[in-house]
Amino acid sequence: MGRPNKTWPWLVQQVAARERGDECWIDWPWKGCKPEGYPMATRPGERQRSAAHLVLELDGRLRPGFEFALQISCDNPSCVNPLHIRWGTRQENMDEMVQRGRARGKEQRGESNTSAKLTNHLVREIRQRVAAGEMQKDVAADIGISRMSVSDLVRGVTWTHVP
């Protein structure tokens, strides 16, 4: 808000006049408005938004619906070349991520992180406590894992190698 608005005039000028070729538009004339990754810009009277969204709108390509998200066909998250960006459905975005091998594997989700904290010894203790009548949620809170994790290991869904 306090920043002088240089972003918008630059974008308007680029979309109107710049030759559209293969090269990425990443030569941003300012630094302060470019955080890690996606560049932001401000249309006068609006909040700061994704510069790529604004470029698509300037290019006459309004977002077709809320299920559409920005899709970048080059590997530059800060690129706003209209030839490199378009609206895609989430499914298309997912497909593209998988194709590029950038999809995150399940192992990065939190659940496996919590089970990583467990040890064979703890797993036996948890099973014994639940078997002795303690509530799963109490045991979960006590150990510091999710109730779902407790349930899974009590039912033998996880930690099957621990007898």
CB of 89 to Zn ion, least distance (A): 21
CB of 29 to Zn ion, least distance (A): 17
Instruction: Determine if 24 is a binding residue for Zn ion (CB under 5 A).
Output: yes
User: How many Å apart are CA 94 and CA 72, to the nearest integer?
Assistant: 12
Q: Minimal CA–CA distance to 11: which of 45, 55, 71, 47? A: 55
Q: Minimal CA–CA distance to 56: which of 41, 76, 37? A: 41
DSSP symbol at 101 = T
> Given the rule CB under 5 A, which of 7-15, 34-42, 78-86, 145-153 is the region that contacts Zn ion?
78-86
Amino acid identity of residue 104, one-letter, is R
Instruction: Determine if 70 is a binding residue for Zn ion (CB under 5 A).
Output: no
Number of residues in contact with Zn ion, rule: CB under 5 A?
A: 6
User: How many Å apart are CA 30 and CA 7, to the nearest integer?
Assistant: 8
Q: Which is nearer to Zn ion, 40 or 122 (CB)?
A: 40
CB of 83 to Zn ion, least distance (A): 8
Binding site for Zn ion (CB under 5 A): 24, 74, 76, 79, 81, 84
